Amino acid sequence: MKVDISVVIPSYNRVSLLKETLKSVEKAISSLSAEIILVDDGSDTPIEDQLREFAHLPIIFLRQVNSGLTASRYNGLLKATGDYVLFLDSDDQIAADKLTVQIAEMKIQDADISHSDILECKYTADGGVVPTKTSTVPHAFDPPSFFLKVQPAPHGPVFKTEYLLKYLTKPFIPLTRQYDSIGEIWFYYNLCVYPAKIIKIDQPLTIAIHHTDERLTDHWERMGLCALILQLLFAKHYPPDAQYTKEAKKEVAHCAFKTFRGLPYNVNRQFQNLFLDAWKRLGKNTITELNGGKYFTILAKLLGPVYAAKILKRFLTKDYETIRTISAVELQEKLDKITLEFK
């Protein structure tokens, strides 16, 4: 039987924060028909055995061999029967009225996607949650701008299920666990070339809670490598005739160059050059399209964008050794593998 909303939550060996996530979802689905698809990604102890106190919730446990975050989200989507889908990580929370507000407005406007502003919060010493600020998320009306410029938090958008399945049943960028540090971006890159009606709710219905547990995003180099692979795969596999391919190519190219500019000047040169390679494969951007600011624009007109970026790196980026999070050996091994794959 179909329900209003399917909430897909992957989890791997995380229970305490997951319980807070489920309490949040329980409040949000109180006036809706819903299913919670909890994808246990091969946890050492089955998640279902550790959540007996939530037996009253409409949870469907999907236990699988450890496959990574991206595959877990995708497998959860394929099991969804709801008219709409929300993806949550096992440390996310949402406002109690997020689902009712966003779904109601999506029905009124026949939208494929809705998203909202973010309420930033932190845990207190006694385990409570207190808000710290509201972050306003920009409006975006076309898919390349929404998925590539805004790049919303993974638990921000509510999607129409039929829209996701239409374009993700056969994704043009293959599904692997290489993207786990930024798993939602695999979804975004596969969707950014296709039409969608996108609406924004100007309320802080998405909650971001800052905690000290380990996150996949704790290692920025790994996130950068994930982004690099996705950009190179997009350049290799993008559908040439899709409605927004031309615009998406420009945005992905811009993402590649912007990441190159943001890398420390003394980080592994191969790392930097691979982002430039992605930028070139996607057709580069004009100096105006790069929107790099006053000084970058002046230097780029004189020296070209690459040399301008290299000069400014010296003044605007940190010493790599002060922000390194992985070993030089690990980084080099991953770069060599990417180079071999895309040579």
Angle between the N-to-C axes of helices 69-79 and 183-191, in degrees from 0 to 180, rounded to the nearest 10: 60
Q: DSSP code of 47?
A: G
Q: How far is CA 123 from CA 95, 98, 100, in A?
A: 16, 21, 26
Is 324's pLDDT higher than 80? yes
Task: Say which residue the tokens 């102890």 belong to.
Answer: 45
Whether 161 contacts 103, CB under 8 Å: no
The string of pLDDT tens digits covering residues 164-207 is 999 999 999 999 988 888 889 999 999 999 999 999 999 999 99
Residue 257's pLDDT is what? Answer: 97
Residue 1's pLDDT is what? Answer: 78
The whole-number average pLDDT for the span 33-52 is 96
Q: Residue 80: which pLDDT band, with cuts at 50, 70 and 90?
A: very high
Is 227's pLDDT higher than 60? yes
The string of pLDDT tens digits covering residues 268-296 is 999 999 999 999 999 999 999 999 999 99
Whether 306 contacts 276, CB under 8 Å: yes
The whole-number average pLDDT for the span 255-259 is 96
Is 37's pLDDT higher than 90? yes
The string of pLDDT tens digits covering residues 123-172 is 887 777 888 999 999 999 999 999 999 999 999 999 999 999 999 999 99
pLDDT, averaged across the chain: 94
HEC assignment per residue over 20-38: HHHHHHHHHCCCCCEEEEE
- Compute φ and ψ for 316, nearest 5 degrees: -110, -10
Residue type, 135: S
Give CATH superfamily name and number for 3-218. Answer: Spore Coat Polysaccharide Biosynthesis Protein SpsA; Chain A (3.90.550.10)
The whole-number average pLDDT for the span 228-256 is 97
Residue 122's pLDDT is what? Answer: 85
Residue 212's pLDDT is what? Answer: 61
Residue type, 231: Q
Residue type, 27: K
What is the model's pTM?
A: 0.93
In the chain, which segments carry CATH 3.90.550.10?
3-218
Residue 183's pLDDT is what? Answer: 84
The string of pLDDT tens digits covering residues 107-133 is 999 999 999 999 999 888 777 788 899
The residues near 143 (Cβ < 8 Å, ≥ 6 apart) are 191, 192, 193, 194, 195, 196, 198, 244, 248
Q: How far is CA 168 from CA 74, 188, 198, 228, 280, in A?
A: 9, 10, 17, 21, 27
Token digits of residue 315: 């003044």
DSSP 160-172: EHHHHHHHHSS-S
- Helix (H/G/I), strand (E/B), else coil: 209: strand
Q: Residue 213: which pLDDT band, with cuts at 50, 70 and 90?
A: low
- Measured CA to CA, the distance from residue 72 to residue 61 in angstroms comes to 12
Residue 99's pLDDT is what? Answer: 98
The string of pLDDT tens digits covering residues 51-72 is 999 999 999 999 999 999 999 9
Is 215's pLDDT higher than 60? no
Residue type, 311: I
The residues near 78 (Cβ < 8 Å, ≥ 6 apart) are none
What does the radius of gyration of the chain's CA atoms come to, in whole angstroms? 21
Q: How far is CA 252 from CA 161, 172, 238, 338, in A?
A: 25, 15, 11, 18
Is 210's pLDDT higher than 80? no
